[in-house]
Structure 1
Amino acid sequence: MHGPGAGSSGWLLVALCAATGAYCLLRMRSGVEEQRRTAGGEALMGFGMAAMAVPAAVLAPPRWAWAVYAAVFGAAALRALWAARSGTHHLHHLVGAFAMVYMAAMTARGTHAGIPVLTGVLLLYFTAYVLWTGTRLVPVAAGGPAGGPARGPTGGPGAPGWGDRLELARACRLSMGIGMLAMLLTL
């Protein structure tokens, strides 16, 4: 984030998060409504992470900008909390949005020393998430997870559309998890 050591690594984080956000925007063209909604939330997270990771030597936003980040991601956390009643997979979005609010609040206060226990819990969560997501990217037997033929977005035979490819969505989530870890390490 805007710590003193953010140089070329900060720009790499900006590029990773912005590229992930852009891909998530493209995933919003999916034919599956739930995937579109999820991709929209992930695009917001990717672009928000990219904006927050811009090195302070290039752009030091005014203090009020951090309150705007906190408000935007607070609203995203409320939306994820509301969506979590239909499925637990939304809880990850809730934790991610909460982490963004937390980092924005710490930066707005002018301190990069967050609450050590909370920072530690978030670091543990995102480390476990990155490891878990990474293992899910390991290829399985040819023909898909069940060994059967590939299915298209409508359930029929054929290759899924590029916006509906599960492995690309997982890679997107993995890169955002890695980015979140990098940002939390700067607190």
Structure 2
Amino acid sequence: MHGPASPGWLLVALCALTGGYCLLRMRSAVEEQRRAAGGEALMGFGMAAMAVPAATAAPPRWAWLAYAVVFGAAALRALWAARTSPHHLHHLHHLVGAVAMVYMAVVMATAPGGHGGSGSPLLTGTLLLYFAGYVLWAGVRLMPVAVSGSGRVAGGGTGWGDRPEVARACRLSMGIGMFAMLLTV
């Protein structure tokens, strides 16, 4: 993406660390957790790769097209999963994220020299509004939950990879990252 190098590298680190944690979450005993974590790991690492400052390493045009194909496939998978899953809203969020990645990759592929371009103001604005709303919603969901009479958080006792508040924090950080990336389009 185009933009200042320091924030770009911070975004790369945030997305890569989030993707790494999502890979660890794939070891969960809960199948739905593993499936969601796999999609989120792909998104985290893909965002990290796309956020590398162009001044450091400007990828060739074919790399942007490869991103578009990978995230196009991820969008189709999210759409397919949304139609049968009880967690269809989560899959629809993955669909929006994957479509945003395809959009940004296409904008970068069509830009002169791959150094950024201008996408559709309407589509960029719509995606920015969506991710701003998502970040606010996800942030509210991170507020402390009620504590049971025993002093343990309700629903406690899960493994560290199955902790919902950490998964929510990862989703929040990816939402912030997506918002930041869309600002550069």
Q: Normalising by the residue count of structure 1, what TM-score does the alignment of the two structures yield? A: 0.91
8 Å CA contact 2:19–2:43 kept in 1: the answer is yes
Which of 123, 126, 132 aligns to 1:118? It is: 123
Q: Aligned in 2, Cα 1:116/1:166: closer, same or farther, shift over 3 Å?
A: same
What pairs with 1:43-58 in structure 2 (closer than 5 Å)?
A: 43-58=41-56
Deviations 1:67-122 (A, max 9, x none): 00000000000000000012232100000000000000000001521100000000
Unaligned runs of 5+ in 2: none
Q: How many residues of Structure 1 are paired with residues of Structure 2 in the alignment?
A: 177
8 Å CA contact 2:147–2:154 kept in 1: the answer is no
Q: Distance in 1 between matches of 2:26 and 2:167?
A: 11
Task: Among all aligned residue pairs of Structure 1 and Structure 2, give the percentage whose two residues are the same amino acid.
Answer: 76
Q: Distance in 1 between matches of 2:55 and 2:152?
A: 53
- Partner AA of 1:26 in structure 2: L
Q: Aligned in 2, Cα 1:118/1:149: closer, same or farther, shift over 3 Å?
A: closer
1:155 alignment counterpart: none
1:140 alignment counterpart: 145
Give the CA RMSD over aligned residues.
1.6
- Partner AA of 1:180 in structure 2: M
8 Å CA contact 2:146–2:154 kept in 1: the answer is no
Displacement of 1:7: 1.0
Unaligned runs of 5+ in 1: 152-157
- Partner AA of 1:100 in structure 2: M
- Partner AA of 2:13 in structure 1: A
8 Å CA contact 2:145–2:154 kept in 1: the answer is no
